[in-house]
Structure 1
């Protein structure tokens, strides 16, 4: 049996334990509701725990206080231009109008704390309404030991995104590690982190200094526990209980019934890892890889469909795309690495297709990068990231670390391909040597001058923010000149599904007649993308997840007098 007391009365049941579900749980509990959170996996946090932890909420209080862009009018213009005709204005308006409120409430009522990024450009800076900073916030680091024994239940980030086997780092830390050989301040910053990590490993199997998505989840989970939320892991839900047209509980896989007076929130993470997701992945092939946790197979969507919930349609993209490389270990295990912010935009690194030619601005967002791969699947997928020894030593590439770390093991495994010359590299990766040599020669001729006539790399503030701020004259451009040369094969991938259940502005699931199903809510990736499957900026999944989790709980709380 599940170990849940059937006799105990609950007001709200939350299925899933990512950012959206946790926002709903802590908000409801703060309003006096008795909340049960059920997670089918052994570890809680879902995709949120392994995310970058950034949230995109225009008009937030931090931006106002810092004198940064806090205008929701320009944000609305930007979203209208990006999303296009498929925009759900009801959801967009609710997000822009209530997002700052939700964030302020969560920061005041829980341990969730953010700081605004002064310089964090949107992903489409060429679009009217875009902003260089003020909309994106990053979560403050957190001490995982505050979770006590339950720290071990927090989902760990992928191995390749940790240093020394278990140390988390954020973007600031990464920059310090890249600069540690030329800056005393960076060297001291890194030594402090390493010393903390070494101490942690005496008691834990990884570091307790949490950043990015792990810090976001840990802060919310600690608050959930303090507010009396019961979080149960390894519990599977078989179906929803519907009586008199309203959802009033769940039936577990073992047959146990759990009742709730105010309904159920679906926050199971979408269907990115489902084998059935292939039919939604337009223009992709069998080499596609998803970064979604293995348990994100559409449970919430399936549960809702049985009681009349309807999935959205006609999205620009059904997934949030990201380029992914794959290392195959000796035992056959695959290790995935999402190429988000650490390498593609750095000087001395380019992407080429199977013809040996560049096909994209490598410094554009990960979502746009994969869309370029999909635009000509036959030529561009899979593709290759290529660099010279100078770039690899300075920045690393994929799982390969910068100097002085040895990457011999990656070379021996075939993940990192090495050759003394560009033509030799072409032969090893199976592209035309003359074409690749010409591509590198043409790129180098412009890169030394800091220009990219072909794709204008480094031409937007977003591009610059992803490059090396200390490299001149262009933060994103340097010639590939010093051998050996290296390559990594890149596949289309995703960070999760965008297609989900249609909802209203209170996150209530809608039926085929656009009527809310009483007592049923969907948030996070279970909710149809408010962005219509576009990707306007960093944190555009977590920002709406927190907002609509908050709004779902407020609506549910109306059904009880205990608030």
Structure 2
């Protein structure tokens, strides 16, 4: 029994964690490492959440890994950078806690678990400014051989089907060139045989390939670490409601596959890490702009259980600052049999030279080579004519050959191009006017846009939007294109286009918390016993998107901080405790 509790619990633990994504698994792992009795409850039959379907990049400044990679980074530089990006939007205390704890959290995970990262020598921050880094802050999870999980491999949520080849094979980015051109060289052929051969052997025992990369590797590494330590994980166990006694959250009611409910006491605290508001039916309508409500990259099961339960005990909701969501432009290939394919346009096409994005007026509206979040912020911006939703990525035939477009990989295969045309994914026009008619885009506006763009492209410039002006955009362009790796003119027809829509990849809006992840009530006071991390906790970047992995970075670091604080092992000088929400925090709308 909890001391002073009037509840008859069916079972009790020290720490009760809901949600087995990166944040929840980190919190459970560290709490167990600190000697606490932990129960991790996952609503679905598999761990990973949106971490499993993500790129897995984790943004944490100032780590030893940056030194090891030859691109030493400093917390001081990151502090100056975040001040320039976030400015006076609030949340300074939580960001400082993140900066101070980030290197410690990553170092401990590397030391005590199978979670392993490498710092990217070249993976620039998404925003320019004082203290911005070209490399060192973006940490990539090392590939993971999931054969060690044996039958538990089925408990790892698969990546997006669009990120797998041959029906279940994950491919490291470094192997993509060889697999796309297996007969281009002996080295390509040998590597293709190695990768595909391994996959064929895997499929004898497993439902998909066991060589995991990106976010799937990160989720599997966390899961494997929990399994090795014997941390209790209960699947198909949703959060039904929180139990609050005399102002303190003392446990929760949990569900089960057979519909039975149990009351679980939490002596030290309840941690919410259930994926945020992404698919909460009411909060999505309340918080998200109408133009961005159609599509989400979050799993269907991310229905806001943690946030909704916290609001029921008077927790405070933040609207996310500049944006309630963090965005990705996505194209959709419809399937007559269901199971549409959704392709996130991350880096493979938008920054490459010879692509423009236009709205229904045939006008460019954004720097196409900017980050995926900033691209969609441009789509959602209303300049007096409404948002640029949907938008269309327009290229010529040479672009298709050189870089591909969305789901269509590079090459000149007429049969492959025709297949995507028949599916309605790729739209072709022999002339710009013909393409405009098929896209329902203003033909005069499109012709004027291409004329202006091509004139400026002749000198490698983009006075309208500054395409190719940042280190990040140039890095994602084509270094062989001179003088600007992101700019070349559109040639003669035929022209091709895919249509893109805004999708949320994570939430900026979420529950209001302090630097320890303790949740705050509507008056700004701590709700004792209740914590959050990951997407359930409002973003410390206030709707901005500073660099690659700025959702997973805070998710892991605050999962670590929450567990350390609950265990009483967080250094007092870094705990940044407070009982009132600071005056700069955003009110719920």
1:418-454 Cα offsets, whole Å, 9 max, x none, are 2223222112111133332332333233334433232
1:275 to 272, 281, 285: 281
The alpha carbon displacement at 1:91 in A equals 0.3
The alpha carbon displacement at 1:282 in A equals 5.0
Q: Which residue of 2 aligns with 1:34?
A: 37
Matched, 1:211 2:220: no
Q: Which residue of 2 aligns with 1:16?
A: 19
Check the 8 A contact 1:450/1:477 in 2, yes or no.
Answer: yes
1:136 to 128, 135, 138: 138
Task: State how far apart, in whole Å, the 2-side matches of 1:417 and 1:233 are.
Answer: 44
Q: Which residue of 1 aligns with 2:114?
A: 111
Matched, 1:474 2:484: yes
Aligned to 2:205, what secondary structure does the other structure show? coil
Check the 8 A contact 1:69/1:131 in 2, yes or no.
Answer: no
RMSD: 2.2
1:384-426 Cα offsets, whole Å, 9 max, x none, are 0111222112222112222266243322121111222322211
The alpha carbon displacement at 1:182 in A equals 5.3
Task: State how far apart, in whole Å, the 2-side matches of 1:202 and 1:403 are.
Answer: 32
1:30-81 Cα offsets, whole Å, 9 max, x none, are 1122221111122221111111101111111111334424221121111112
2:397 to 389, 392, 416: 389
Aligned to 1:285, what secondary structure does the other structure show? helix
Task: State how far apart, in whole Å, the 2-side matches of 1:327 and 1:458 are.
Answer: 29
Alignment of 1:193-204 (within 5 A): 193-204=195-206
Task: State how far apart, in whole Å, the 2-side matches of 1:386 and 1:333 are.
Answer: 26
Greater shift after overlay, 110-119 or 410-419?
Answer: 410-419
TM superposition score normalised by structure 1? 0.93
Matched, 1:167 2:169: yes
Check the 8 A contact 1:287/1:491 in 2, yes or no.
Answer: no
Q: Which residue of 2 aligns with 1:59?
A: 62
Task: State how far apart, in whole Å, the 1-side matches of 2:227 and 2:292 are.
Answer: 42
Aligned to 2:317, what secondary structure does the other structure show? coil
Equivalences, count: 553
Aligned to 1:174, what secondary structure does the other structure show? helix
Q: Which residue of 1 aligns with 2:308?
A: 302
Greater shift after overlay, 388-397 or 281-290?
Answer: 281-290
Q: Which residue of 2 aligns with 1:421?
A: 431
The alpha carbon displacement at 1:8 in A equals 5.5
Task: State how far apart, in whole Å, the 1-side matches of 2:266 and 2:289 are.
Answer: 42
The verdict on how the C-alpha distance between 1:536 and 1:180 changes in structure 2, with shifts beyond 3 A counting, is farther
Greater shift after overlay, 172-181 or 370-379?
Answer: 172-181
Aligned to 1:492, what secondary structure does the other structure show? strand
Task: State how far apart, in whole Å, the 2-side matches of 1:507 and 1:395 are.
Answer: 43
Q: Which residue of 1 aligns with 2:562?
A: 552
1:301-325 Cα offsets, whole Å, 9 max, x none, are 1111222321124611111011121
Matched, 1:430 2:440: yes
Check the 8 A contact 2:320/2:538 in 1, yes or no.
Answer: no
Task: State how far apart, in whole Å, the 2-side matches of 1:554 and 1:544 are.
Answer: 15
Task: State how far apart, in whole Å, the 2-side matches of 1:13 and 1:492 are.
Answer: 35
Aligned to 2:249, what secondary structure does the other structure show? strand
Task: State how far apart, in whole Å, the 2-side matches of 1:181 and 1:352 are.
Answer: 37
2:451 to 441, 452, 457: 441
1:497 to 483, 507, 513: 507
Check the 8 A contact 2:450/2:490 in 1, yes or no.
Answer: yes
1:259 to 259, 265, 283: 265
The alpha carbon displacement at 1:148 in A equals 1.6
Matched, 1:518 2:528: yes
Alignment of 1:81-100 (within 5 A): 81-100=84-103
Check the 8 A contact 2:69/2:118 in 1, yes or no.
Answer: no
Q: Which residue of 2 aligns with 1:355?
A: 361
Task: State how far apart, in whole Å, the 2-side matches of 1:375 and 1:286 are.
Answer: 11
The verdict on how the C-alpha distance between 1:250 and 1:287 changes in structure 2, with shifts beyond 3 A counting, is closer
Structure 1 gaps, min length 5: 1-5
Task: State how far apart, in whole Å, the 1-side matches of 2:177 and 2:481 are.
Answer: 13
1:152 to 151, 154, 179: 154
Greater shift after overlay, 400-409 or 139-148?
Answer: 400-409
Matched, 1:235 2:243: no
Check the 8 A contact 1:249/1:260 in 2, yes or no.
Answer: yes
Greater shift after overlay, 53-62 or 304-313?
Answer: 304-313
Q: Which residue of 2 aligns with 1:400?
A: 408
The alpha carbon displacement at 1:175 in A equals 4.8
The verdict on how the C-alpha distance between 1:494 and 1:298 changes in structure 2, with shifts beyond 3 A counting, is same
1:480-532 Cα offsets, whole Å, 9 max, x none, are 22543211111122112211111111111112333322221100000011111
TM superposition score normalised by structure 2? 0.89
The alpha carbon displacement at 1:124 in A equals 0.9
Q: Which residue of 2 aligns with 1:225?
A: 227
Check the 8 A contact 2:48/2:156 in 1, yes or no.
Answer: yes
Task: State how far apart, in whole Å, the 2-side matches of 1:278 and 1:241 are.
Answer: 25
Q: Which residue of 2 aligns with 1:323?
A: 329
Structure 2 gaps, min length 5: 1-8, 570-589
Greater shift after overlay, 385-394 or 405-414?
Answer: 405-414
Check the 8 A contact 1:16/1:38 in 2, yes or no.
Answer: yes
1:162-207 Cα offsets, whole Å, 9 max, x none, are 2222222343333555676656545543443222222222322221
The verdict on how the C-alpha distance between 1:469 and 1:176 changes in structure 2, with shifts beyond 3 A counting, is farther
The alpha carbon displacement at 1:260 in A equals 2.4
The verdict on how the C-alpha distance between 1:314 and 1:464 changes in structure 2, with shifts beyond 3 A counting, is closer
The verdict on how the C-alpha distance between 1:325 and 1:390 changes in structure 2, with shifts beyond 3 A counting, is same
Task: State how far apart, in whole Å, the 2-side matches of 1:51 and 1:398 are.
Answer: 17
The verdict on how the C-alpha distance between 1:163 and 1:300 changes in structure 2, with shifts beyond 3 A counting, is same
The verdict on how the C-alpha distance between 1:243 and 1:547 changes in structure 2, with shifts beyond 3 A counting, is same
Task: State how far apart, in whole Å, the 2-side matches of 1:495 and 1:282 are.
Answer: 13
